[in-house]
């Protein structure tokens, strides 16, 4: 996790430090190349497993499954209530389950010591991209299972959209505020929009209240796309903010007392 | 103690809680002004509706406050001091509760200034509704402190906040059962309805006992928590087994009628009296158009004043106006089209019909004709009302009288005949 020079056994370090396959004389070149590729794949796979473990991947996965199950149960219960109007009644599930999943993702966006990790010789931008994309796809896929029944009416599609949108918010906030407070903007925004319960589906409402719009609202998908791309870009380029994010020193000193 | 409280209020989570609660309060007030505009009781009821979000935020603030020592790595050091463990918890809870409550009250006081400008009925029962809301904020903070002390997770604050929101929302779904009184969230109650004093007293007891339970749990005072828990359950039993909020009693002074002095009679409840000048120009022309026609409504009355056991029937001589969600912040009318929907009841059919019944469909087309005549709408291919306008006015009124008679009796053949041009 922290780089090949710090936490790998000596035999593995020797293997990684060997000359590349292109320098091996002809004849054994192809075999050596294949062996090197296999070793690299194994090494990457091992690093990936270590990365996920260090970032709380298993806990996130368990949390995600629990949220999906609860979302499915709550959605079914709401849709079956005769007075609530069928699948439309699943709005709370569509608004809150993706928010919760994105909040759970927050702590996984930085290691125990972000500055130490930055000092290791790994292509962190690639790792960050893979981490966030994998988490977003996994979250969207798992949560969409909860809304497969009548997916058009506040079902699977809206769950996917909201998962991507909230993930973008949390990831972008992690780059600005640090992982400790990465949940805050998405939490406040999600609560505010849901509390407002906007009844319109016009373009302006679809922009500011995309989590509670039907999945047929094209504008809401565009907003989510912008949030997702902006959030990921910020995180990939800058990584998670440190203990207090990337606020100016003055604000940081005020925050440090809380 | 006072010095520590002052320090907590200045340097702890309290200022952020106050700002967040004030912002949340302003946001909630801004998104649905029609639910509270011009009515003191409506404003306080809306505070209780907003508890769904405000309590969740207070829970999150409480968790954040309780986890401060752990985040700073000084929890063991603080624990080793001779000061009793419950004291810092109590002070921290008090600071966050005071700050959050002040934040909310500042937002709602601003709305109160707007209400005071137009309100026509003060009432007095809403003070108790407000008291229960304030107590609930303290209970929510105590719940957050308890979670923050007992659950050492980084994400405890948002997860506890969302869990609190869901728990409160689920309880409000049981809106016909007594259990709904256990939650401070009050949705769907009209401003002129009154929560019985007995229920308010039980709610106060329940929230106080629950606060003590949660604070005792946070301080790990198990005996105190158990004793207060028994008390809380003792209070909860009569609440849960009692009647729910279905058909709450009405404040008779709030629904006393205030009527126009001139023209066809338009009456609104006293609590909605500030709307009378806005409602009258919309309603009186319609009443004037049908004045004197046999079977037509002769007055329009606020639905708030309708006795609970009196159904709305076409042809009962009264148009019932639904004004609960109508007031704007400045006391104007928010949705004139809703008022027109109420007026459409004049031409409503007293029928239940099958979707595939062609004769009933034709009868409803005649209803469209009557509606167009009532509101003097222009003719269209779907509603060819021009032949009706071409008749002399006495003949038009006679046609409308025939229509009302047929509609009240659900006489489908007569309604179909009335659609034919004369």
Q: How far is CA B317 from CA A183, A208, B32, B301, B418, in A?
A: 58, 45, 33, 10, 22
Minimal Cα distance from B160: which residue of A? A100
For residue A174, what are its two tokens?
């992690």
Closest residue by Cα to residue A158 from A100, A94, A207, A217: A94
**In the 8-state DSSP scheme, what is residue B265?**
E
In chain A, what is the straight-line distance between the N-terminal and C-terminal CA atoms, in Å? 31
pLDDT tens across B73-121, in order?
888 888 788 888 888 899 999 999 999 999 999 999 999 999 999 999 9
Distance CA B283, CA B297 (A): 11
pLDDT tens across B353-374, in order?
665 667 777 777 888 888 888 8
* Interface residues of chain A, partner chain B, Cβ below 8 Å: 81, 92, 96, 99-100, 103-104, 106-107, 180, 183-184, 187-188, 191-192, 195-198, 257-258
B247 lies within 8 A of chain A by CB = no
Nearest-Cα distance to chain B for A11, in Å, is 37
Task: Say whether A197 and B31 touch across the interface (CB within 8 A).
Answer: yes
Return the pLDDT at B326: 87
Return the pLDDT at A178: 87
A31 backbone dihedrals φ, ψ, rounded to 5°: -65, -45
Residue with token string 């929890």: B75
Task: Say whether A187 and B27 touch across the interface (CB within 8 A).
Answer: no
What's the mean pLDDT when you consider all of chain B?
88
* Inter-chain CB pairs, A–B, below 8 Å: 58
Closest residue by Cα to residue B275 from B300, B308, B240: B300
The contacts of residue B191 (CB under 8 Å, 6+ apart) are: B39, B41, B42, B45, B254, B271, B324
Chain B residues with CB-CB distance to A180 below 8 A = 71, 154
How many other C-beta atoms are found inside a 10 Å radius of the C-beta of residue B389?
A: 13
Element (H, E) at B321: strand B318-321
Mutating which of B104, B140, B162 best tests the A interface, going by the most A Cβ atoms within 10 A? B162
Given a contact cutoff of 8 angstroms between Cβ atoms, the answer to whether B268 and B277 are in contact is: no
**pLDDT tens series, chain A, 258 aa:** 333 333 344 444 444 444 444 444 455 566 667 777 777 777 778 888 888 888 888 999 999 999 999 999 988 888 887 777 777 788 888 989 999 999 999 989 988 777 787 788 888 889 999 999 999 999 999 999 998 888 888 889 999 999 999 999 999 999 998 888 899 899 889 888 888 877 777 888 889 999 999 888 899 999 999 999 999 999 999 888 765 444 544 444 444 444
Return the pLDDT at A88: 79
Half-sphere exposure of B293 (CA within 13 A, CB side): 27
Return the pLDDT at B174: 64
Query: For the stretch A48-67, what's the b/e string if a residue is b when 16 or more beta carbons lie within 10 angstroms of its beta carbon?
Result: beebbeebbbeebbebbeeb
Minimal Cα distance from B21: which residue of A? A188
B274 lies within 8 A of chain A by CB = no
Q: Is B29 left (phi over 0), alpha (psi -120 to 50) or beta?
A: alpha
Of A99, A107, A192, the CB nearest to B154: A107
How many other C-beta atoms are found inside a 10 Å radius of the C-beta of residue A256?
A: 10
Closest residue by Cα to residue B286 from B274, B276, B272, B300: B300
The contacts of residue B112 (CB under 8 Å, 6+ apart) are: B40, B43
Nearest-Cα distance to chain A for B81, in Å, is 20
Return the pLDDT at B47: 94
Task: Say whether B159 and A197 touch across the interface (CB within 8 A).
Answer: no
Chain B residues with CB-CB distance to A96 below 8 A = 162, 165-166
Minimal Cα distance from B27: which residue of A? A192
Chain B residues with CB-CB distance to A188 below 8 A = 20
Nearest-Cα distance to chain A for B210, in Å, is 25
Task: Say whether B53 and A180 touch across the interface (CB within 8 A).
Answer: no
**pLDDT tens series, chain B, 422 aa:** 788 889 888 888 899 999 999 999 999 999 889 889 999 999 999 999 999 899 999 999 999 999 888 888 888 888 788 888 888 899 999 999 999 999 999 999 999 999 999 999 988 778 889 999 999 999 999 999 999 999 888 888 989 998 998 888 877 776 668 888 898 998 778 888 888 888 999 999 999 999 999 999 999 999 999 999 999 999 999 998 888 887 788 888 999 999 999 889 999 999 999 999 999 999 999 998 888 888 888 889 999 988 877 777 666 788 899 998 889 988 888 888 888 888 888 887 777 766 566 777 777 788 888 888 888 888 888 888 888 888 888 898 999 899 888 888 888 888 888 887 76
Distance CA A118, CA A113 (A): 9
Distance CA B50, CA B43 (A): 10
For residue B186, what are its two tokens?
């009050």
Given a contact cutoff of 8 angstroms between Cβ atoms, the answer to whether B204 and B182 are in contact is: no
Task: Say whether A103 and B28 touch across the interface (CB within 8 A).
Answer: no
Q: Report how far Cα A71 is from the mean position of its chain's Cα atoms.
A: 19
Chain B residues with CB-CB distance to A92 below 8 A = 166, 169
ipTM comes to 0.70
B345 lies within 8 A of chain A by CB = no
Return the pLDDT at A28: 58
Residue with token string 């409840």: B269
Q: How far is CA B250 from CA A7, B87, B202, B307, B313, in A?
A: 73, 45, 20, 9, 22
Residue with token string 């049908």: B290
Nearest-Cα distance to chain B for A234, in Å, is 22
Return the pLDDT at B114: 94
Query: For the stretch B318-351, what's the b/e string if a residue is b when 16 or more beta carbons lie within 10 angstroms of its beta carbon?
Result: bbbbbbbebbbbebbbbeeebbeebbbbbbbbeb
């Amino acid at each position: 996790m922290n780089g090949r020079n710090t936490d790998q056994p000596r035999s593995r370090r020797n293997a990684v430090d060997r000359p590349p396959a292109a320098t091996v004389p002809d004849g054994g070149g192809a075999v050596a190349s294949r062996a090197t590729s296999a070793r690299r794949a194994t090494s990457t796979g091992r690093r990936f497993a270590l990365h996920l473990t260090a970032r709380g991947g298993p806990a996130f996965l368990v949390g995600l499954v629990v949220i999906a199950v609860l979302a499915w149960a709550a959605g079914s219960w709401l849709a079956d209530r005769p007075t609530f109007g069928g699948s439309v009644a699943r709005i709370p599930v569509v608004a809150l389950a993706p928010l919760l999943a994105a909040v759970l993702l927050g702590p996984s966006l930085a290691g125990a010591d972000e500055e130490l990790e930055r000092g290791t010789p790994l292509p962190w931008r690639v790792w960050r991209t893979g981490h966030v994309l994998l988490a977003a796809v996994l979250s969207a896929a798992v949560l969409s299972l909860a809304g497969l029944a009548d997916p058009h009416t506040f079902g699977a599609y809206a769950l996917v959209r909201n998962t991507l949108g909230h993930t973008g918010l949390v990831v972008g906030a992690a780059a600005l505020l640090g992982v400790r407070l990465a949940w805050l903007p998405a939490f406040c925004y999600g609560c505010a929009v849901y509390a407002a319960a906007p009844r319109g589906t016009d373009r302006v409402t679809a922009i500011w209240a995309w989590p509670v719009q039907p999945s047929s609202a094209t504008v809401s998908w565009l907003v989510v796309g912008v949030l997702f791309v902006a959030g990921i870009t910020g995180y990939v380029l800058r990584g998670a903010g440190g203990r207090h994010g990337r606020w100016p020193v003055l604000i940081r000193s005020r925050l440090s007392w809380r | 103690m006072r010095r520590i409280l002052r320090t907590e209020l200045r340097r702890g989570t309290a200022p952020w809680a106050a700002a967040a609660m004030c912002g949340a309060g302003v946001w909630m007030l801004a998104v649905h002004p029609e639910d509270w505009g011009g009515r003191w009781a409506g404003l306080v009821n809306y505070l209780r509706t907003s508890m769904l979000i405000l309590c969740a935020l207070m829970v999150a603030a409480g968790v954040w406050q309780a986890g401060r020592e752990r985040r700073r790595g000084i929890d063991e050091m603080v624990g080793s001091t001779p000061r009793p463990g419950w004291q810092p918890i109590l002070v921290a809870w008090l600071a966050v509760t005071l700050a959050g409550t002040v934040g909310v009250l500042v937002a709602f006081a601003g709305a109160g200034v707007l209400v005071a400008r137009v309100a026509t009925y003060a009432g007095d029962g809403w003070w108790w509704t407000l008291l229960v809301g304030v107590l609930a904020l303290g209970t929510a903070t105590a719940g957050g402190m308890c979670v923050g002390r007992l659950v050492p997770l980084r994400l405890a604050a948002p997860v506890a906040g969302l869990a609190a929101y869901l728990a409160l929302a689920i309880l409000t779904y049981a809106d016909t059962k007594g259990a709904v009184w256990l939650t401070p969230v009050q949705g769907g109650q009209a401003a002129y309805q009154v929560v019985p004093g007995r229920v308010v007293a039980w709610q106060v007891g329940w929230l106080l006992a629950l606060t003590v339970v949660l604070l005792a749990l946070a301080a790990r005072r198990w005996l105190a928590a158990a004793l207060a828990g028994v008390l809380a359950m003792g209070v909860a039993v009569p609440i849960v087994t009692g009647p729910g909020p279905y058909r709450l009693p009405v404040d008779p002074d709030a629904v006393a009628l205030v009527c126009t002095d001139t023209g066809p009679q338009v009456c609104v409840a006293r609590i909605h009296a500030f709307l009378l000048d806005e409602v009258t120009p919309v309603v009186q022309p319609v009443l004037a158009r049908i004045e004197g026609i046999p079977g037509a409504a002769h007055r329009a009355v606020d639905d708030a004043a309708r006795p609970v056991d009196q159904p709305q029937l076409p042809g009962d001589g009264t148009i019932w106006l639904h004004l609960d969600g109508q007031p704007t912040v400045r006391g104007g009318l928010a949705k004139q089209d809703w008022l027109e929907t109420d007026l459409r009841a004049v031409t409503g059919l007293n029928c239940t019909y099958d979707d595939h019944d062609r004769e009933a469909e034709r009868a409803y087309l005649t209803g469209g004709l009557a509606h167009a005549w009532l509101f003097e709408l222009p003719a269209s291919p779907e509603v060819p009302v021009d032949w009706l306008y071409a008749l002399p006015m006495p003949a038009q009124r006679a046609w409308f009288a025939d229509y009302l008679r047929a509609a009240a009796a659900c006489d489908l053949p007569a309604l179909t005949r009335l659609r034919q041009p004369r």
